[in-house]
Chains A and B, each alone.
Chain A
Amino acid sequence: DAGVIQSPRHEVTEMGQEVTLRCKPISGHNSLFWYRQTMMRGLELLIYFNNNVPIDDSGMPEDRFSAKMPNASFSTLKIQPSEPRDSAVYFCASSLWTSGGETQYFGPGTRLLVL
Chain B
Amino acid sequence: GNSVTQMEGPVTPSEEAFLTINCTYTATGYPSLFWYVQYPGEGLQLLLKATKADDKGSNKGFEATYRKETTSFHLEKGSVQVSDSAVYFCALTNTGGFKTIFGAGTRLFVKA
Q: Given contacts A43-B105, A56-B99, is CB(A103)–CB(B34) below 8 Å? A: yes
A86 to chain B, nearest CB (A): 19
With A43-B89, A43-B102, A100-B32 as given contacts, are A91 and B95 in contact (CB-CB < 8 Å)?
Answer: no
Contact between A100 and B95 (Cβ–Cβ < 8 Å)? Answer: yes
Contact partner, B98, options A91, A100, A106, A107, Cβ 8 Å:
A100
Closest to B31 in A: A101
B7 at the interface (CB under 8 A from A): no
Select the stretch in B15-23, B41-49, B78-86 that faces chain A: B41-49
Select one of B34, B46, B98 contacting A97, CB under 8 A: B98
B contact face: mostly helix, strand, loop, or mixed: loop
Interface size class of B (residues with CB under 8 A): 20 to 34
Is A101 in contact with B51, judged by CB distance below 8 angstroms?
A: yes
Q: Is B96 an interface residue (CB 8 A)?
A: yes
**CB atoms of A91 and B43 under 8 A apart:** yes
Question: Contacts A42-B104, A101-B31 given: A106-B96 contact, CB under 8 Å?
Answer: no
Closest to B30 in A: A101
Residues of B whose CB lies within 8 Å of any CB of A are: 31-32, 34, 42-46, 49, 51, 89, 93-100, 102, 104-105
